[in-house]
């Protein structure tokens, strides 16, 4: 079936619902779908998490191993984030190297963790200039039910919070939990004909022109943002999304991530 045509029909439907203040799945505009997080599901990984937001399912795995630091930052650990949109998750995903959508998702996830200073990377240095811990965050999308962005960010931080540095395996002392300092949480909203809805479902994502992701940290400050999609947003819309997103992030953090 032609995706473009379906989404024009759906666009009408979702737009009309929006005018009535409703969403196709009955949620309020700022209501997120049910979130499920399960950590430690992959024994071989140093940290792992499975996240479901509505129909969206992802698995994030963290591997940690010693490696060489970058020459310009010789005394800090390295974070490498990648995300794959494998064909298992959607008829629209194809195998092969990551396309721009996957690259963007991975980079925004990375940005949230890096810029919020979630990991104390100074403590991840083993020998300055020679050996540091490398943290690989890999996100596998299993089912695309919309809003992969928030699921990916949530999965990666949940996996990191439960990750262990495998020092014993490399003869570098005792195993220890990752030195975590902050818990960034990503909240995404889309614009459907002027109405702003949070945590978009797949249909909503398909018909929306513009998407804004806001990643905020524990103290309610913004650590990262990304506008995606070819539409535009007004200043008021942006400020509204920022305000609600910071509040939502706090709720999600308290409910799922703070122990």
Does 148 contact another protein by CB under 8 A? no
Minimum CB separation of residue 170 from another protein in Å reads 28
Distance CA 72, CA 161 (A): 27
| Structure tokens, 162 | 């439960």
Considering only 60, 189, 212, 252, the residue that binds another protein (CB under 8 A) is 212
**Cβ-based nearer residue to another protein, 152 or 165:** 152
Query: Which residues share a beta bridge with 67?
Result: 132
Choose among 63, 42, 39, 33: nearest CA to 51. 39
Tell me how crowded residue 168 is: count the other CB atoms within 10 A of its CB: 12
Does 111 contact another protein by CB under 8 A? yes
**Cβ-based nearer residue to another protein, 55 or 239:** 239
Query: Which residues share a beta bridge with 131?
Result: 127
Distance CA 150, CA 34 (A): 13
- Which x/- pattern, by CB under 8 A, does the window 215-254 give for another protein? --x--xxxxxxxxxxxxxxxx--xx--xx--x--------
Q: What value, to the nearest 5°, has the Cα angle with vertex 82 and ends 89 and 239?
A: 85
Choose among 49, 44, 85, 37: nearest CA to 65. 44
Q: What is the DSSP letter of 152?
A: H
Considering only 106, 163, 183, 192, the residue that binds another protein (CB under 8 A) is 106
**Cβ-based nearer residue to another protein, 116 or 162:** 116
Buried b (16+ CB within 10 A) or exposed e, 105-137: bbbbbbbbbbbbebbebeebbbeeeeebbbbbb
Q: Are 133 and 65 in contact (CB under 8 A)?
A: yes
Does 72 contact another protein by CB under 8 A? yes
The region of 156-164, 187-195, 209-217, 248-256 touching another protein under the rule CB under 8 A is 209-217
Distance CA 165, CA 169 (A): 9
- Total binding residues toward another protein, as defined by CB under 8 A: 37
**Cβ-based nearer residue to another protein, 68 or 239:** 239
| Structure tokens, 241 | 């999304």
Considering only 104, 136, 172, 180, the residue that binds another protein (CB under 8 A) is 104
Minimum CB separation of residue 222 from another protein in Å reads 5
**Cβ-based nearer residue to another protein, 17 or 238:** 238
Considering only 86, 103, 127, 176, the residue that binds another protein (CB under 8 A) is 103
Minimum CB separation of residue 229 from another protein in Å reads 6
**Cβ-based nearer residue to another protein, 39 or 217:** 217
Does 159 contact another protein by CB under 8 A? no
Binding site for another protein (CB under 8 A): 4, 72, 98, 100-101, 103-104, 106-107, 111, 114-116, 209, 212, 217, 220-235, 238-239, 242-243, 246
């Amino acid at each position: 079936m032609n995706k473009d045509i379906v989404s024009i029909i759906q666009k009408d439907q979702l737009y009309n619902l929006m005018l009535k203040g409703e969403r196709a799945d009955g949620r309020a505009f700022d209501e997120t779908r049910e979130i499920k997080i399960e950590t430690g599901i992959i024994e071989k990984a140093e940290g792992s998490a499975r996240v479901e937001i509505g129909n969206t399912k992802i698995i994030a795995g963290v591997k940690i191993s010693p490696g060489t630091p970058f020459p310009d930052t010789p005394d800090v650990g390295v974070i490498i984030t990648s995300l794959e949109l494998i064909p298992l998750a959607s008829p629209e995903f194809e195998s092969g190297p990551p396309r721009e959508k996957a690259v963007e998702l991975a980079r925004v996830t990375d940005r949230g963790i890096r810029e919020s200073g979630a990991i104390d990377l100074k403590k991840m240095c083993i020998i300055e200039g020679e050996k540091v811990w490398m943290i690989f965050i890999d996100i596998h999308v299993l089912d695309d039910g919309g809003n992969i962005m928030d699921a990916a960010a949530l999965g990666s931080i949940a996996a990191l919070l439960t990750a262990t540095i495998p020092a014993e395996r490399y003869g570098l002392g005792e195993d220890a939990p990752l030195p975590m300092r902050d818990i960034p949480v990503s909240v995404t909203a889309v614009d459907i004909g002027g109405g702003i809805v949070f945590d978009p479902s797949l249909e909503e994502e398909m018909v929306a022109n513009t998407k804004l992701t806001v990643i905020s940290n524990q103290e309610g400050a913004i650590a990262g943002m990304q506008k995606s999609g070819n539409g535009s947003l007004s200043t008021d819309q942006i400020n509204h999304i920022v305000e609600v997103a910071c509040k939502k992030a706090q709720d999600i953090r308290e409910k799922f991530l703070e122990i």
